[in-house]
Structure 1
Amino acid sequence: MQTNPLLSAANEKLRQDNNKLTKRIIRETANAIVDYNMIEDGDKVMVCLSGGKDSYGMLDVLMTLQKRAPIKFELVAVNLDQKQPGFPEEVLPNYLTSIGIPFHIENQDTYSIVKRLIPEGKTTCSLCSRLRRGILYRVADELGCNKIALGHHRDDILATFFLNLFYAAKLKTMPPKLVSDDGKHTVIRPLAYVPEKDLMAYAELKQFPIIPCNLCGSQENLKRKEVANMLRAWEKESPKKVWNIYKSLSAISPSHLMDRNLFDFVNLRPTGVADEDGDKAFDADTFADYSPIEEEDSDEDRIDATTSQSDTSHKFQKIINIQKL
């Protein structure tokens, strides 16, 4: 039987693109874990699984890293069944059983609480998040987990930044790593460097059994969606623009902003000593161009650049330069 050469070429390109996508997501996740020392030897990580593309992708990548990392850490998948009407409660247990990972389903009717307290048409996300957070902290204690992994990605972090900027007059976003409200756990976001479009493609590639969130997904008036649309338009115009905005969140110059709590403007006086970080606000600007896609073949340089990190991070870094999947 004769093979169509055009079809064969198309299939080969698809295979290569899928391979690059998988390698990129794994590499960027490992980069974020190393940069912020998210996972250490002996950790027990509670992976919060909602049934959406992001948490499925996070669990899948963390399971891959768990197998390849020279450090030992445990994973347990946890889903909070909030008793939304029509929620297919068999989907996650069946999936988690099929991939062989320990899991726990926590049943709590937060849906009724949210619907009772929030007027119809108003944003439910804030209350829903607070209720979820308290329950997950308790479950982490019960399961003996010291790390809680959430599936927020690069675009979530950027959207939160602009929401705070536009509507709260604050330079603030979701950090890749923080200490929980109760002071007992470390909350991590391993997908902090991964753009949403990659996770969408990865979910399609892996055919995850996606469960839609009917509680908040229908609220078209959410400001977060407006910001997300803005970011998508910018990325369509220039992907590097969005990446550079994201990179700027970790390249702060307090002396060139206006926060008196971060920089002592009140007591600022000339010292008579030249300061190369002084008044550069009026110099010619130099702009960096960043794209992780263009860095796919530069992992060795990155490994060399991280030699000052802890031994655990050094070991974890070895998994970034993945040649075969």
Structure 2
Amino acid sequence: MNLQKLLSYTRRAVDDYGMIESGDKIAVGISGGKDSLALLYALNGLKRFYPNPFTIEAITVSVFKEMDLTPIKALCEELNVPYTVISTEIGEIVFKERKEENPCSLCAKMRKGAFNEQAKALGCNKVAYAHHKDDIVETMLMSLIYEGRFHSFSPYTYLDRMDLTVIRPLMYVPEADIIGFKNQYHLPVCKNPCPADGHTRREYVKNVVRTLTTENPGAKERMFTAIVNGKIPGWPEKTPGNR
């Protein structure tokens, strides 16, 4: 996937759900993985021509001290995007002090808390997460399997306690295309040192989706359509003219 195609996917999502308004200052969460780096490219490219002027700030919540963020700092300098790294003890707390059996939930909660606080400190009114099309389908299946409800990430969500709006501009982008973009543009992906990486419920569900799609071509696309049209509580309507 080239940059033009990534921008096309992103603009369609942003337009369909009115994610960006004039004057927005958007914090982009950078984990160091391919998805967040693709999101950085997407929003940095979009802001050059989008009719609603906006600015972005890149933020990394550092969970593990051994993670080398130098390549990401260099990329942000190249793109002329302000970059902030928040050093935390989250990895120590979750894996060594608490020794959580299911660490992902607590880790995610602590990371989002630190990220949102920094976004507010920088004067941002919105935060962008790099959840893509596959993430939305996998989250729906996780909700069905583990919670007994039909639910998934919403295109945008207002966090009233923080007075921040979460947006998901990559919601139409298939993960396979992000992998292609990473390879074509040589994104400086940082290896994830998390001990739970590759051994989570999400990884299990990802494999389930892969099997379903192999045995039933088009199944993933149909599941995504069911989510978008499923009238999930809190899921916004598309903006007028994009329905």
Q: Give the Cα separation in 2 of the matches to 1:68 and 1:237.
A: 42
Aligned partner of 1:66 in structure 2 is 47
Aligned partner of 2:220 in structure 1 is 242
Amino acid of the structure 2 residue aligned with 1:137: N
SS class of match (1:249): helix
Query: Does the Cα contact within 8 Å between 2:158 and 2:164 map onto a contact in 1?
Result: yes
The verdict on how the C-alpha distance between 1:225 and 1:148 changes in structure 2, with shifts beyond 3 A counting, is same
Aligned counterpart for 2:66 among listed residues 74, 78, 86: 86
Aligned partner of 1:44 in structure 2 is 25
Cα deviation digits, residues 117-165 of structure 1 (max 9, x gap): 4437x23110001101111111111100000001111111111111110
The verdict on how the C-alpha distance between 1:245 and 1:99 changes in structure 2, with shifts beyond 3 A counting, is same
Q: How many residues are paired up?
A: 238
Query: Does the Cα contact within 8 Å between 1:159 and 1:227 map onto a contact in 2?
Result: yes
Amino acid of the structure 1 residue aligned with 2:180: A
Identity fraction in percent: 29
Matched, 1:35 2:13: no
Larger relative contact order (Cα-Cα within 8 Å, sequence gap ≥ 6)? 2
Aligned counterpart for 2:185 among listed residues 206, 219, 232: 206
Cα deviation digits, residues 193-229 of structure 1 (max 9, x gap): 1111111111111101111222155352x22111101
Bigger shift: 29-38 or 52-61? Answer: 29-38
Compute the RMSD of aligned alpha carbons.
2.2
Q: Give the Cα separation in 2 of the matches to 1:118 and 1:195.
A: 35
Query: Does the Cα contact within 8 Å between 2:13 and 2:172 map onto a contact in 1?
Result: yes
Q: Which has the higher strand share?
A: 2
Cα deviation digits, residues 265-315 of structure 1 (max 9, x gap): xxxxxxxxxxxxxxxxxxxxxxxxxxxxxxxxxxxxxxxxx9934xxx9xx
Larger radius of gyration: 1
Q: CA deviation at 1:241?
A: 1.9
Q: CA deviation at 1:236?
A: 3.2
Query: Does the Cα contact within 8 Å between 2:17 and 2:239 map onto a contact in 1?
Result: no
SS class of match (1:67): coil
Matched, 1:96 2:76: yes
SS class of match (1:38): coil
Aligned counterpart for 1:186 among listed residues 159, 165, 178: 165
> 1:19-34, aligned counterparts within 5 Å?
19=2, 22-34=3-15
Q: Give the Cα separation in 1 of the matches to 2:109 and 2:14.
A: 25
Q: CA deviation at 1:28?
A: 1.6
Aligned counterpart for 1:167 among listed residues 131, 134, 146: 146
The verdict on how the C-alpha distance between 1:63 and 1:155 changes in structure 2, with shifts beyond 3 A counting, is same
Amino acid of the structure 2 residue aligned with 1:50: S
Q: Give the Cα separation in 1 of the matches to 2:231 and 2:47.
A: 36
Structure 1 runs not aligned, ≥5 long: 1-17, 255-260, 262-305, 314-325
The verdict on how the C-alpha distance between 1:74 and 1:163 changes in structure 2, with shifts beyond 3 A counting, is same
TM-score (ref. length: structure 1):
0.68
Bigger shift: 109-118 or 63-72? Answer: 109-118
Aligned partner of 1:308 in structure 2 is 240
Q: Give the Cα separation in 2 of the matches to 1:27 and 1:106.
A: 31
TM-score (ref. length: structure 2):
0.90
Q: CA deviation at 1:115?
A: 1.4
Bigger shift: 165-174 or 24-33? Answer: 24-33
Query: Does the Cα contact within 8 Å between 1:125 and 1:216 map onto a contact in 2?
Result: no
Structure 2 runs not aligned, ≥5 long: none
Cα deviation digits, residues 49-91 of structure 1 (max 9, x gap): 1110000001101111111212210011111112x14211323
SS class of match (2:157): strand
Amino acid of the structure 1 residue aligned with 2:99: P
The verdict on how the C-alpha distance between 1:253 and 1:85 changes in structure 2, with shifts beyond 3 A counting, is closer
Q: Give the Cα separation in 1 of the matches to 2:227 and 2:87.
A: 37
Aligned partner of 1:131 in structure 2 is 110
Amino acid of the structure 2 residue aligned with 1:40: E
SS class of match (2:52): coil
Aligned partner of 2:122 in structure 1 is 143
Q: CA deviation at 1:181?
A: 6.0
